[in-house]
Each structure stands twice: as C-alpha cells, then as structure tokens.
Amino acid sequence: MESSEEDNALTVPESQPNKRRKRKSIVWEHFTIENVGDGCRRACCKQCKQSFAYSTGSKVAGTSHLKRHIAKGTCLALLRNQGNQLTPYTPGSENGGATEIRKRRYRTPSSPYIPFDADRCRHEIARMIIMHDYPLHMVEHSGFINFVQNLQPRFGMVSFNTVQGDCVATYLREKQNVMKFIEGMPGRVCLTLDVWTSSQSLGYFFVTGHFIDSNWEPQRRILNVVMEPFPDSGSALSHVVACCLSDWSLEGKLFSVTHNCPVDEPGIENLRSLLCVKNPLILNGQLFIGNCIARTLSSMAKDVLWAGRDIVKKIRDSVKYVKTSESLEEKFVELQQHLQVTTENALSLDDQSKWNTTYQMLVAAAELKLVFSCLDTSDPDYNEAPSMEDWRQAETICGCLKPLYDAANILTSTATPTAIAFFHEVWKIQTDLARAAASDDPFISIVTKAMQEKISRYWKDCSLVLAIAVVMDPRFKMKLVEFTFSKIHGEDAPTYIKIVDDGLHELFHEYLASPSSLALTYTEEGNTENSMREDHQGTLLSDNGFTDFDVYIMETTNQEMTSELDQYLEESLLPRVQEFDVLSWWKLNKLKYPTLSKLARDILTIPVSSAAPDSVFDTMTKELDQYRSSLRPETVEALVCAKDWLQYASAEISDDIVKMEF
C-alpha cells in the first residue's frame, strides 16, 4: 500500500496509543475504523461498506488509498449521491497534502455538506451580473473561468449566449412579480421618462412607474427601457408611452407623464391624441404632461454659469493651481492660517458635468479670496489671478445659484419628493428673481432675465398640478395658494386662484362620476370596512346587476358627496409640524373622505422629477456606455429593469429580517 509522508504524520503505531494525535484528514469523514483481530484494524467506507487495510500491529497503511476511493469515483455508492452533494475531496496537485490538512484544520466533523445545484449556480451568476453591472462576457474571461473551476470543478462554465438567456429569464420571472404587484394598486399610475443617448446617437427611454400601494406607501419601479433610433422625432414620446401601456396593461390607469426629453409641442400633441383614445384624460389632459423640475433647475444653473464663464474659469484655474501640487497646497494652508481665514466649505476642484460641484467650488473659493489674492503669481504656470471685482461677481453668481442648489438638494435627500415641496420652492425662486430683476447691476439683470423666462415657463405648465397638490395638504389647502398667487401674479391673482378652484372641483366631479370610484367608494379599500360589514351584515353582495343602482345613488346623493370637498376646504388648517406625513393623514381619513382621498392619492403620486438622485445636477444628457449600447435593446431592458426590481426585493428581505430581530 502507498503511504504518504502526510499520512504517516497523522497516525502513529499502535504500540504508542497514548501519543496518537487526533485524526484530521478529511477521509475520516467517510471512513470508520474497525478492529478485525489482534492488532489488526481496517478502514470501512461509510457509503459502500467496503473495507481497506489500515494497520497491522505497528505498521500503518496510511490514507492515500482511502483518498483515491472517495475522490476518483471508485465508491459506487458515493457516485450515486454526488448529484446532491459536493465532491467530498479533491486532491490538491499543486500544493501537496500538507496544505490540504491546514485548510481542513478548522473544519468540524459535524459540518454539513452543501448541496450542489448547477442550475442554482447559473441563476446566481445571472443575478450577480445584473446586480453589479458586470459585462456578460465575463463568463468567458479566463480569470473568472479559472476561479470558478478551482472553486467547484463540477460546474460546467456557461457561454455568453447562455448567461444572456439566464439574465433575460431572471427578468421575465421578476416581471411577473412586479406585474402582480402593480395589478393590486388601488390608484392610478404616473410615469416618468428619462432619456439616455449612446455614441451611435440612439435614444434609450427609461420609463419609471410611480404609484401608491394599498398601505399608502409611495412606490416606484422601472418598467421599460425603450430604444428609439430617432429620439428627437415627434413620434418618439408617444411610441414609448404606448409600448409601456400595452406591455403592462395600463390603459385607463395612466394619470400623468413627467419627462426631461427634448420633445417639441407637436410631439406632446401626438401623445395627447394617442391617449385620448387609449386612456381617459383627467381634466382634459391639463394635469397630464409635466416638465422635469431637475432639468429646469439645471438649465437655469447652466445659464448662470455661462454668463459668468470667464470669472468661473479664472477661479477654477486658481483652484487647480493650488490643489494639483502637494507643496503648493501646504503653502496655501500655511498662508490661510497666517491670515486667520476660516471657511465652512472644503476647497476642491469641480466636476464640470455636475453644476453643484462648480457652485460648491465657487462658494469655498470666495470664502478664501483673501488667501488667493496673497498667492505668489510670478509662477509662469499660474494664469491671471481673479481681481476683487471678479470675486464680487463670483459671490453674485453664488447668490443666483443658491436657491437652485437648495431646491435641487430636496430631490437628492428625499426618497419621494412631492409636488407640495416644489410648490414652495418654485414660488420662492420666482419672488427672489423678481427682486433681483430690479437691480442696477447689468450682470444680475442679464442673468435673472434668462432665469425668469425658464422658471415662468415651468410655472405656466405645472402650476395647476403643484397648486392642487398643495390643496391636498391639510396644513395649507387653498390658503397657501391664495397667498402665493398674490405674491406672484399681483392684481391678476384672483383670476389664477379661480382657475385652481374650478379645476379642483371639476376634478372632484370626475372622480365622483368614475365607475371605478363608485365601486371603491362603497366596497373598497375597504379591507377594514369590508370586514366590518361582513361581520355585521354577512357576505357583501356582488356588483353584478347593481350598476344602475350605483348611478342612482350617485344622482340622488351627488350634492351630499360634492360637499365632501367643500367640507374639507372649510375645516381649519392643521398645525404646520415639520415631520408631517400627508399620505398617512389621508390614509387615516379615507373613510371620512372616501372620494377625495382617492383624488389626493393620485395627485400626490405625480412625480416632479424624472431624474435619478445621482443625475439631478447633471449638465449633460446621460450616455449609455459603449458595452451596454452594443447589446440587443431587449437585453439592455432586461438588465436595467431586473436590477431595479431585485434591489427592491433585497430591501424587503432586509426589512423582514430587521422585524424578526425585534
């Protein structure tokens, strides 16, 4: 029999039983020692019961032959079980047996075998690629193949086409879950459209659905990624929305569309025309199309920075001069300490694709203007230093950017920024610009004029949505609309206030007349209400045959139900507490205001921005990377959507674990 140096190190002759060390080789998880005679012992396989020589008197046979039995496929019983078990032992040809012993030293004999499932491994590879944006071709990279083969030699590596199919299968499986989730939503769905481009000038429209679930929690899911070869065409927007409605069976459920797409008026009208047929438009479509507030703010910020581009460049060059040399930065800090200049903001070079970083650079540099003015400017690498007049104008630029920066920050710091918050922000920006426009400074006049044009255009398109959302906040109602409109519109304020009031009442009447609203009013949401009725009146009657009765109820009680809105408006305002959850308030009051609560739920669903939090401050259109744009559009959609859905699934699992712990 063969005997390795490693094996002999593990066991000692029978004549020294007290000095025998504990057997640590992995083979002893598969063999037992049996005494067959005086001084003779044999190793018996636990799987097939075959016995092998182990020791006779002082001679020890070792374990190499035992390893071959379990590793080379000799044990037939073990082979039968290998479909459900990991290979128990694979000799390490490179490092020798001693390394194997060290690796196994901390394994306990009671450690269970991990079931090996090749399909599960493929599924996890697909999930890994989706969750972490890895390239699909990584499964064909030699480094990844070697890693997997050393980890589990029995796993047959997959090809690019196979893993692409696995990713699409994951997407389709998750899509069924999302579809069931959306089907259970009690209200309407709002869409946001965010367009990305590619180096081939193709457009990729990311379509996200926003809705409020049955627990009155705001939800969002990426529903589609639609590739459009001509994204600027008048038909692109309507085609994208039509694809989404058809794919998710949302005809009749769409409430609004918020976009940041470069679409002209004919494109908007094409979309309105399409949806007049496929989707009933609320308020004749006045609430339907909305511009993205993030895009509006970024466009205004770019105007400010362009007007002051020469000054911004001087300051950027000065910051670059200091920050790109370690010795110069040390001298700058020493000079700052000597001059006793303090700053609340860290000085850093800006990323010109993000306007907030330029604003932060200007703010920090302006606080250090005295230090910059004392720098040694004799260095030939140092361009023209900003003058004190330049610093004054830089502070003016910061003053113009600050309200935009504060408003945009709400989009990044709040999970679901509501139209209520941006009603406040937009009217504050308008009043600030109105005051600035009266300045004698020609630079301020030029900058504020361009800003006023854009914020006024946004206000014209979106003020009705923002105002009705504010009315649905019991802390403000129509009072805040009246106050702010008087500030913005002056003598014309009563006309605009009446537009909001009329629109609100017309919208409420549309909800009263909606058959779905009727059914929900009397049977709904009403899991709690339904159970109460069932407890006291038995099983609820079916709606079959009661449509005419519902119409009769609507006609005979219309005045009473209409007063539901008036009653809400006439009640006193709630105190303006800081952490007020308007959706929770409507959830608590849905039985008191059965129809108005549905209107509030849909209005408060409307998103003000289509940009992701990390894109709010972008100055350029997002571009799909070269690798993604080389894939089929269907694959891109599968990867993007599945990643979004899997992240929500992971978050729900984490929440469940936290709840179990407490």
Residues 308 and 398: beta-carbon distance below 8 Å: no
Distance CA 580, CA 576 (A): 8
Distance CA 152, CA 156 (A): 9
Task: Determine the pLDDT at residue 559.
Answer: 53
**3-state SS record for 282-323:** HHHHCCCEEECHHHHHHHHHHHHHHHCHHHHHHHHHHHHHHH
Is the per-residue pLDDT at 430 higher than 50? yes
pLDDT band at 76 (very low <50, low <70, confident <90, very high): low
What is the percent of the chain with per-residue pLDDT over 90, rounded to a whole number? 44
Per-residue pLDDT of 139-190, as tens digits, reads 999 999 999 999 888 888 899 999 999 999 999 999 999 999 999 899 999 9
| Mean pLDDT within 316-338 | 88
Task: Determine the pLDDT at residue 142.
Answer: 94
Average confidence score pLDDT of the chain: 81
Q: Higher confidence at residue 1 or residue 110?
A: 110
Least confident of 27-31, 67-71, 334-338: 67-71
Is the per-residue pLDDT at 532 higher than 90? no
Task: Determine the pLDDT at residue 416.
Answer: 66
Task: Determine the pLDDT at residue 309.
Answer: 93
Is the per-residue pLDDT at 536 higher than 80? no
| Mean pLDDT within 261-282 | 71
Task: Determine the pLDDT at residue 276.
Answer: 72
Least confident of 104-113, 429-438, 645-654: 104-113
The strand ranges marked E within 460-579 are: none
Task: Determine the pLDDT at residue 612.
Answer: 86
pLDDT band at 18 (very low <50, low <70, confident <90, very high): very low
Q: Higher confidence at residue 20 or residue 645?
A: 645
pLDDT band at 642 (very low <50, low <70, confident <90, very high): very high
Per-residue pLDDT of 235-259, as tens digits, reads 888 899 999 999 999 988 888 889 8
Is the per-residue pLDDT at 377 higher than 70? no
Distance CA 296, CA 366 (A): 26
Is the per-residue pLDDT at 307 higher than 80? yes
pLDDT band at 550 (very low <50, low <70, confident <90, very high): low
| Mean pLDDT within 392-397 | 93
- Long-range pairs for 6-9: beta carbons < 8 A, 24 or more residues apart: 6/96, 6/97, 6/98, 6/100, 6/101, 7/60, 7/62, 7/63, 7/64, 7/97, 8/60, 8/62
Using CA atoms in the order 71, 75, 76, 81, what is the torsion angle rounded to 10 degrees?
A: -60
- Most confident of the following: 1-15, 59-73, 322-336, 594-608: 594-608
Tokens of 261: 């797409």
Q: Tell me the pTM.
A: 0.74
Task: Determine the pLDDT at residue 324.
Answer: 84
Is the per-residue pLDDT at 518 higher than 50? no
Task: Determine the pLDDT at residue 407.
Answer: 93
Task: Determine the pLDDT at residue 104.
Answer: 44
Is the per-residue pLDDT at 108 higher than 90? no
Looking at residue 192, the DSSP 8-state letter turns out to be E
Give 146's contacts (C-beta < 8 A, 6+ positions apart): none
pLDDT band at 278 (very low <50, low <70, confident <90, very high): low
Is the per-residue pLDDT at 362 higher than 90? yes
| Mean pLDDT within 101-118 | 56
Give the other-Cβ count within 10 Å of 431's Cβ. 14
Give 382's contacts (C-beta < 8 A, 6+ positions apart): 317, 318, 321, 375, 376
pLDDT band at 111 (very low <50, low <70, confident <90, very high): low
| Mean pLDDT within 397-416 | 88
Please, what is the Cα angle at 647 between 644 and 648, to 5 degrees? 90
Task: Determine the pLDDT at residue 62.
Answer: 76
| Mean pLDDT within 549-563 | 60
Distance CA 457, CA 454 (A): 5
Beta 59-60 vs 203-212: how paired, if at all? unpaired
